[in-house]
Amino acid sequence: MTTRHWSRVAVYAALLLAFALRLYHLDFQSLWSDEGISLLRSQQALGPMLAEMPVEHAPLYFVVLHGWMRLTGQSDFALRALSLLFSVLTVSLLYALGRDLFSDRVGLLAAVVLAANPFQVWYAQEARMYSLVVCLTLASTWLLARGWRGSGWMAWAGYTATTALALYTHYYAALIPAFHATFILGWWLLSYIEAKVAPRIRAWGSIPRLSSERALKRPAKGGKRALSTLRLLSLSVDVQVLPRTTLLSWLGAASASALLFLPWVPRALQVLSFPGWREPVPLYTVPGRFLTAYSLGLAVPPTLGLWLAAGFLPILIAGLIVAQGESRPAVAYAILYLLVPALIMALFLLRKPDFHERYLIVVTPAYALLLARGLDALRRRVWPLSALALLFILGTNAYALRNYYWDSRYHKPDFRGAARHLTLFGRPGDGILVDGPNPRLVFLHYYHGPLPVYDLRSLDQSDPAAVQSTLAPLAAQHERLWTLLYFHPPGPIEAWLDAHGYLTTARGFNGIQLYLHATPSAATATTIPLDVPLGPSARLTGYTLEPSSLPADGILRLTLWARVANTQGNLKGDLWRVTPHTPRPAAQASLRAVVDGQPPGEYNV
């Protein structure tokens, strides 16, 4: 096979790797609340969807998902498959960008790095707009590169369309047109300096032309040292002058994309007053968190992840160096692709520190591209070092992906598991209280049982009278009340249930708490008198069972009555009398074992 054929096979292998990593366990985890928002919003008709779109969301992803669901259904797999497809397309686009800017090898390495990137896999398996916005902004960036290289009007038309579509997908997509403007206008400025300013300076100081590579390397002489800055600036781009047609074409395409987005601008501007969702983070931690996330994803311990991510820095730095014979505009383009959005984001964080690593996800292709340049630069110098660097990237990515796939500490809240538990253990007469966001977002996507579900979002939990008037009728109506708690710690609702019922079950589902309280609505109490010594400090005077009879899966409340001789010592320990366990005969081996001792839980004395 020829080199060209091997290259094509390698690209297909990278795409297959990307597809396999994103397909594996695609629907293993439950949807979480943000994905529930995508589902609920995309179920609406287009008119109400656009009219009711909240200020923090752009509309395109929900419109696309609306059409996608009509074709594929609303299963977890179908919802997430849309993001998977855009993520795989992103890998192919990055290969094309790396090939056009540098070489086929750099494009292939960039595709492999992005294919295995755990951060990309995470959002390729989430029914949200992040894979789409990365795909569109990368397509826009690639088409701009083709446009300035003379690919004609189709590249500029594609640039206009993809830029506008990206803005309609996520507002942080605007970081990429800002990078494009910085690159084109910066190149134009240096071209202007070369054409207009430099001749005057040369006439005054006899400085050699900037277009001479030899002259650029000469030290400034005598009183001309201050002018060496001009030479350094000229190194940021190639000596070639930006063609006027390229500048005008970009201005026209960028203006057209802005006009296409203009109808949504009044709505988009409202996001500036949006307070955000998260608590402020210390700004000094932000660079490390970005480096860790974009290198290894979100499924690594923070400290270990930062140390491992630091190993990516030498490779990244090697990717920032301009090699002999390389196109300086191409290198500047790749570097600015990463730096300009990051610097703008830093300014945003100074104003409003609402931070999450995914907000800057549009620069992750640039990060992978620069890592690929670094690997290629190491190959040209010491190829075994390049191989070790690639193995380090893939090995640490494999560790992070293993955590993401299998370690439940990094999994999404398990609404599916909570709904399954309620389906298995709920019984007629039970009720379900939802103490958290709208149950329609995710919970009712999974729970289709007969038990009534009570949405308590409208309850003013700061008002004890409101809590009493809402929960008392429900406790009287249901013998058992399940409480689905998420997004906040236990509050007045759980306190009321503890005071007026008794907690029998508490289960966690990765951030979701499920409590079962038995209520005294239908309970009949039977008190049995006793007089049994319990250690030196207490005597058992009786016990109460509620109810006196119950089905096999029922809940029995036991209350012990004791007279305490003194308040010193271990009262709770004295109240539990442990007897030696007698082995069962072989004939009873199938019975469930019962071990004497204090049952687990909290006890009030």
Question: Is 271 a residue whose pLDDT tops 50?
Answer: yes
CA dihedral over 341, 346, 349, 351, signed as positive or negative? negative
Task: Determine the angle formed by the axes of helices 153-167 and 244-261, rounding to 10 degrees.
Answer: 30
Q: Which of 66-75, 105-114, 299-308, 381-390 comes out lowest in average pLDDT?
A: 381-390
pTM: 0.83
Can you tell me the distance from the alpha carbon of 141 to that of 125, in angstroms, rounded to the nearest whole number? 24
581: left (phi over 0), alpha (psi -120 to 50) or beta: beta
Confidence of residue 540 (pLDDT cuts 50, 70, 90): confident
Q: Which of 161-165, 295-299, 453-457, 585-589 comes out lowest in average pLDDT?
A: 585-589
pLDDT of residue 227: 47
Question: What average pLDDT score do residues 267-274 get?
Answer: 84
> What is the three-state SS of 270-320?
HHHHCCCCCCCCCHHHHHHHHHHHHHHCCCCCHHHHHHHHHCCHHHHHHHH
Q: Which two tokens stand for residue 487?
A: 């997004």
Confidence of residue 524 (pLDDT cuts 50, 70, 90): low
Give per-residue pLDDT as tens, 475-518. Answer: 999 989 999 999 889 999 999 998 888 888 899 999 999 999 98
Question: What average pLDDT score do residues 544-548 get?
Answer: 68
pLDDT of residue 349: 86
Question: What average pLDDT score do residues 259-274 get?
Answer: 90
Q: What percent of the chain shows pLDDT beyond 70?
A: 82
On average, the pLDDT of the chain sits at 85
pLDDT of residue 51: 92
DSSP code of 600? S
pLDDT of residue 235: 41
Give per-residue pLDDT as tens, 438-455. Answer: 999 899 999 999 999 999
Question: What average pLDDT score do residues 277-298 get?
Answer: 88
pLDDT of residue 7: 84
Q: Are 216 and 234 in contact (CB under 8 A)?
A: yes
Confidence of residue 592 (pLDDT cuts 50, 70, 90): very low
